[in-house]
Structures are given as C-alpha cells and as structure tokens.
C-alpha cells in the first residue's frame, strides 16, 4: 500500500494539513483538516443495476438517475458473494470473507483476527459520528458498539454532536428477495403505472412463462418504490443543509433477485449499481467530472479502504482491498474476485474473476446441479414453475442447463453474451484470456489464503489458522482440488494416494474427487472404505457418499446415517444430509433415518433432510418453498 504524502492529500482534500499514519489493526487518526466530508451510504438489497441510468428503459428511477447525472456511475461494481452476509463481512472489514472461514458460507461466524475492528471504528477514532440504520448481518463477531455510535432503526446523522462529520448507512429492504414472495407482494399498494409484463425482455436462460414475466415486472416495481425511498432520504439531507458537504454512495448489497441471480456467480448475482455524488466543495476527490462513467472493476473489498481514504484516515495494512478514491487511491484494478460456498442448507463452491469484458468461473463442485433446492429460494413462484417445467421435460437450451450439472470451467464475453450462456472455454481464439484469468484467480486464492478448500466445521478454518503453511499447504490442496474437478478417471491413482494424505483437506478433496467420478471410482473402493473411520467427519461423509456410487452402498449408507443422526457437529450432519439428497434413489434404504433426522436441532439440517424425505416419498411438490 502506498504511503500518502502531505502534498497529495492537500491536492485532493478541501484544504488543511494531513498527517496519515501507517497503522495495524489498532488505531487510526484523522488528517488534521478543518473540513472533512460527511459520507452517506444508501444501500438496497438484492438488486442488479436495473436503473434508467444503466440502460433499462422499463425502470422508473428518476432520483437515482439524477444521482448518476450529478455524480459518477461505476459500470463494473461487484459484490464479493451473490448473497448478503458474506458480502457484508467484506464491507465491514475490508477483508475477503474466504480469508476468515467459515465467513464465506451463508450464515456463519468467521474466525477473524483477534484485533479486527469494523472499519467505522477507525472513523470514530478520527472524530466521525458513525451510524447504521440498521442491518448488520456481518457473518462475524464484529464489535457493534466499537464500530457504531448508533446501530438501530433510529440511527441517523441528525443525532450527532454539533460540529462532528458523519458516516451514515441506511439499508433499504424493499428490493429484497422476500418481497417477490406472493404473501409479501399482496402487501403492496399497486403503483399508478405498474410495469407491463408483456414488455419484459427476458434473459436467454429464462423460459418465457407468465410467472417469470410477472416476477420481473414486480421487481421493476420494487425498484420504483426504492427510488421513492431514496428521494425522501436525499431530501432530508438537503433540508438539513448537509448536501453540500456530503459524499453520497448508492449501491446494491448483491445481485438478484430473480431466478439464477442471487446465489449464482454470474453478473446476474454479482453485478450491482454504484453511484457516487461529490458535492462541489469536494469535487477534488472525484475521479472524473460529474455525469461521467468509470469502467474499471471495483468490488466490496475496496469500499472500506476507499471511505477511510476519503476521510483522511490511514488504511490499516491488513485490509485486502484497494482505495479507488481519495489520497490513498491505488489506481484502477484489472479484476474483481467473487465466490460462492454454502447457501443456507446447500453446499457448493465456486470461484470467479471478472474483468471489464470477460468473466471466468471455476466450479469446484461441478457434479452438483446449478439449481439445487434451497428452501428460501423456492419461495418465489417463478422458481417453482421453472423447476416443474424441467421435471416435466419441457425445457431445452440455456433454460434447461440450470437444472443440470456444471462444467469445471466457464468463460463468458459479457459484451456479446450478457446472459452468460455461451461458454467459451473450448474456443481456441479465447485461449489466451482463459489462461490469463485462470492464472489471476489462482494467484488470488493463494494471496488471500482462501479457506473455501477446508470442509466447514474443521478446526483448520479461520484467518490465523490458515496463515500456517504447514497446517494449510494451500498450493498442494489446490492441486488436489483441481485434480478432483477434472472428473477424469485417469486421475484415480492420484485420488487414491490423496486419501492417505496426512492433511484433512487433501483427503477431503480426494474423496470428493471420487464422488465426482461416480461409478468410475469403483477401483478406489478399498481406499475409500478405510476413510469411513477418518478422524474428520467431513472426510467420512465424502468417502461414504463415494462408496454408494462405487458399488458398496450398504457400507456408505450406514456411515452416512451415523453421521446424520449422531455426529456432534451440525455442519457434518448437514454435509451428510446433502449427500443423501445427491444420492437420489440410492438413499431410499436410509429413509427411516432420514425421516428421524427431521427433528434435528439445526434448522439447515431440518430443511435439507425434510426435502430429501419428501422427494423419496413422492411429495416434493408440496414442500418446495416458504
């Protein structure tokens, strides 16, 4: 991270002197300037840039479009995950959630550095008044009282002591996924000019159904309601006389929320709007003139250091993002990195890198279908309809692929294929960009010590634990995972050797590699059977599932039942529940144990296993969603 000198700060800030100190996790002090900007974050939930200023003719968003005209529009802003909690971890810490396992999973408590503070704490140390209204959902034990002067639905810049600059966050839930559930849609008074479903232009991956058109139309209506809420907040700022000294950010907390968006590592799940308005007195902090657009990728890991930079506060060294504004601006970045792991009750693992034009995806669990049954996701009527159409054999082309297994790698040209349905991995003319982005992703995974290769619940998880190369030999583990995802029977000897490795993660990926090979892993049955008594419950589950495909289902099912009903770790029990779902009819002999597990103490285990029981009994259609 470059040091910031006095001359550069004075050039960008609004006068005064600067004294920026290089700090570690503890302590930061403000530049001693007589005038520092207030900073307002306006956050909406679960939405892509469905705004007029981003080129959507059906949008009715005059307030946000006006913010774009008066400020800067970022064309390529991405959340760290296609869901809120892991992304909010990154927003509050300036760290990738995958650096602090299990924070990369949905609804988990990341094992963070002992001195890690929510970044507003540094602003408070520097004299700012910091408020959050009101969502936290940080996926980590962040000290709320340290981070915020006030964190509640009454938090407001208006409550600050006289003369203090403020950093204020307001979260708007009107665009949240749940607002498209039928029971919630009924609560809204119809708009004077509702969106016409007939005018919706569906993406290539969606089947053309009345339900999907209706949900799309409802979503544009929710964006119009959001715009009205933002207008009220900006009016408060204007009425208070603070608009002329406040930098305003507007962004979405992750993509979404129509089917194949939230939870999925495409632009539909990760691309979010970002608009930033700079008042005249702080125009020196703007990267370009008002009304301009910036196409360099930015992502949530950059937000904390950027706000600190704008406020004249030194960026703590361990932060992994890059300031893209202010005197500590690190300059444009080539790529933005994102990820997916467990979403509620369903496991998956995806890593992705996005540049200005291309997206590269590595699916580390390609044997799992994209559209796994997640109870919450199935609360949306259009998801249920799409799923039913697949089961009835009524789909073809891109809409069909969502319900099938994934390739190991995906590469998309967003310029020519905004729906991301034309995989370019096998195209010789795209070989160079494929190799460039594949290498960039691997370099990133190593740099942040990505915890996603550790089975959830393992003692290896966490920021500090994974800094030990002896305990977490990540390069070797990456090789094991890459071998597994190839799904090549020729690699079976490597997988068998990996089953005897001293490292839990390598044994886990070796067993998963056998799962991915299904019946082709039969020659590994003896080595897999040895792992049924592994010290790691996660390895036992993976080996047992593999044996069910490899001709020894009786042995495998017995261990899966034991792990499901008796293991002390709820996450190992959840892994066993997922294995039963993946096995389909092969799990039928274990139906009694599956039904017994419906009373598990863990909600995610209950959700997963309840659906599996329903499927095995032919009752799935009655138990699909909220």
Going 208 to 209 to 212 to 214, the CA torsion angle's sign is: positive
Determine which one of 12, 53, 77, 84 is catalytic.
Answer: 84
Please give the angle made by the CA atoms of 418, 448 and 266, to the nearest 5 degrees.
15
Residue 227 and residue 60 in contact, taking contact as beta carbons nearer than 8 Å: yes
* Angstrom distance (rounded) from CA 617 to CA 266: 34
Structural contact between residues 560 and 544, judged by C-beta atoms closer than 8 angstroms: yes
In the beta sheet, which residues pair with residue 130? 167
Nearest to 260 by CA among 69, 402, 396: 402
Q: Which residues pair with 131 in a beta bridge?
A: 150, 168
CATH code, domain carrying 126: 3.40.720.10
**579 domain-assigned:** no
My answer on whether omega of the bond before 102 falls inside 30° of 0, hence cis, is yes
- How far is the C-alpha of 126 from the C-alpha of 404, rounded, in Å? 52
In a domain, 130, yes or no: yes
Pairing of strands 246-252, 298-299: unpaired
> Given the structure tokens 């020519």, which residue do they identify?
416
Cα separation of 44 and 28, whole Å?
Answer: 29
Tell me what pLDDT residue 9 has: 31
Average pLDDT of each block of 10 consecutive residues along the chain (626 residues)? 33 33 43 72 98 98 98 98 98 98 98 96 98 97 98 98 97 97 93 97 98 97 98 98 98 96 98 98 96 98 98 97 97 98 98 98 98 97 97 98 98 98 98 98 98 98 97 98 98 98 98 98 98 98 98 98 98 98 98 98 98 94 62
> Starting at the edge strand that comes first in sequence, how are the strands of the sheet with 274-277 ordered?
150-151, 129-133, 166-172, 38-44, 246-252, 274-277, 72-74, 292-294
CB atoms inside a 10 Å sphere around CB 329: 20
Q: What is the domain extent for residue 113? A: 6-330
Residue linked to tokens 């520097």: 126
What is the per-residue pLDDT for 458? 98
Residue 200 is assigned to a structural domain of this protein: yes
CA distances to 117, 488, 549 from 518, rounded to whole Å, are 45, 11, 5
Q: Would residue 84 show up in a list of annotated catalytic residues for this protein?
A: yes
* Both structure tokens of 517: 């090979």
Distance CA 66, CA 275 (A): 10
The number of distinct structural domains making up the chain is 1
DSSP code for 313: B
Residue 620 has a pLDDT of 77
Q: Which of 564, 604, 599 is nearest to 580 (CA)?
A: 564
Hey, what are 571's tokens? 């996450």
Output the six-digit token pair for 463. 């920021």
Whether 176 contacts 257, CB under 8 Å: yes
What is the Cα–Cα distance from 150 to 377, expressed in whole angstroms? Answer: 32
- b/e burial code for range 66-80 (CB count within 10 A of at least 16 → b): bbbeebbbbbbbbbb
Is residue 256 one of the residues assigned to a domain? yes
Residue 586: predicted pLDDT: 98
CA dihedral 424, 429, 435, 437 (to 10 degrees): -60
Neighbours of 432 (CB within 10 A): 9
Question: Would residue 251 count as lying in a domain?
Answer: yes
DSSP 8-class letter at 159: G
Q: How far apart are CA 247 and CA 71, in angstroms?
A: 9
Within a 10 A sphere around the Cβ of 50, how many other Cβ atoms? 22
Place of tokens 């708009």: 191
pLDDT at 621: 65
At 379 the pLDDT is: 94
Asked, for residue 609, whether it belongs to a domain, the answer is: no
496 part of a folded domain:
no
Q: Is 429 a member of any domain?
A: no
């Amino acid at each position: 991270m470059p040091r910031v000198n006095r001359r550069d700060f004075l050039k960008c800030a609004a006068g005064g002197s600067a004294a920026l100190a290089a700090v570690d996790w503890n302590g930061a002090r403000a530049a001693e300037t007589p005038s520092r900007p207030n900073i307002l974050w306006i956050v909406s939930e679960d939405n892509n840039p469905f705004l007029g200023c981003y080129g959507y003719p059906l949008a009715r968003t005059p307030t946000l479009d006006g913010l774009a005209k008066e400020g800067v529009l970022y064309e390529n802003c991405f959340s760290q995950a296609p869901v809120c909690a892991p992304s909010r971890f990154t927003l509050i810490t300036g760290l990738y959630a995958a650096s602090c396992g299990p924070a990369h999973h949905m609804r988990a408590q990341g094992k963070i550095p002992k001195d890690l503070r929510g970044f507003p704490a540094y602003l408070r140390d520097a004299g700012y008044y910091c408020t959050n209204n009101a969502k936290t959902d940080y996926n980590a034990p962040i000290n709320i009282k340290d981070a915020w002067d006030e964190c509640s639905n009454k938090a407001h810049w208006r409550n600050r002591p006289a003369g203090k600059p403020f950093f204020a966050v307001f979260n708007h839930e009107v665009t949240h996924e749940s607002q498209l559930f039928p029971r919630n849609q009924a609560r809204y008074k119809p708009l004077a000019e509702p969106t016409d479903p007939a005018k919706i232009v569906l993406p290539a991956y969606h089947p053309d159904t009345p339900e999907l058109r209706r949900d799309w139309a409802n979503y544009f209506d929710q964006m119009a309601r959001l715009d009205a809420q933002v207008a009220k907040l900006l009016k408060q700022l204007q009425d208070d006389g603070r608009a002329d000294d406040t930098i305003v950010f507007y962004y979405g907390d992750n993509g979404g929320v129509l089917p194949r968006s939230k939870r999925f590592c495409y632009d539909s799940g990760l691309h979010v709007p970002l608009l930033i308005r700079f008042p005249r007195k702080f125009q020196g902090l703007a990267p370009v003139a008002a009304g301009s657009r910036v196409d360099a990728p930015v992502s949530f890991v950059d937000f904390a250091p950027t706000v600190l930079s704008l406020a004249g506060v030194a960026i703590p060294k361990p932060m992994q993002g890059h300031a893209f504004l202010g005197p500590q601006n690190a300059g444009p970045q080539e790529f933005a990195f994102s990820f997916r792991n467990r979403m509620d009750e369903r496991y998956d693992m995806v890593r992705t890198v996005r540049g200005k034009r291309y997206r590269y995806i590595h699916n580390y669990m390609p044997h799992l279908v994209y559209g796994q049954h997640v109870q919450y996701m199935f609360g949306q009527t259009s998801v249920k309809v799409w799923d039913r159409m697949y089961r009835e054999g009524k789909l073809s082309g891109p809409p069909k692929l969502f319900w099938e297994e994934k390739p190991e790698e995906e590469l998309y040209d967003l310029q020519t294929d905004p729906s991301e349905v034309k995989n370019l991995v096998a195209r010789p003319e795209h070989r160079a960009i494929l190799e460039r982005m594949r290498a960039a992703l691997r370099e990133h995974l190593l740099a942040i010590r990505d915890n996603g290769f550790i089975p959830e619940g393992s003692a290896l998880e966490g920021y500090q634990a994974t800094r030990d190369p002896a305990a977490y030999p990540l390069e070797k583990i990456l090789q094991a995972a890459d071998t597994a995802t190839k799904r090549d029977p020729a690699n079976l000897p490597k997988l068998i050797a990996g089953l005897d490795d001293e490292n839990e993660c390598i044994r886990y990926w070796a067993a998963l590699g056998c799962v991915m090979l299904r019946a082709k892993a039969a020659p590994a049955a003896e080595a897999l059977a040895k792992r049924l008594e592994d010290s790691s419950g996660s390895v036992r589950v993976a080996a047992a599932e593999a044996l069910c495909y490899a001709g020894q289902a009786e042995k495998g099912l017995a261990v899966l039942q034991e792990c499901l009903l008796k293991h002390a770790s709820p996450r190992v029990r959840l892994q066993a529940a997922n294995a039963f779902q993946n096995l389909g009819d092969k799990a039928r002999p274990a139906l009694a144990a599956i039904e017994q597990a419906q009373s598990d103490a863990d909600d995610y285990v209950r959700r997963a296993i309840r659906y599996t029981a329903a499927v095995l009994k032919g009752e799935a259609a009655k138990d699909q969603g909220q």
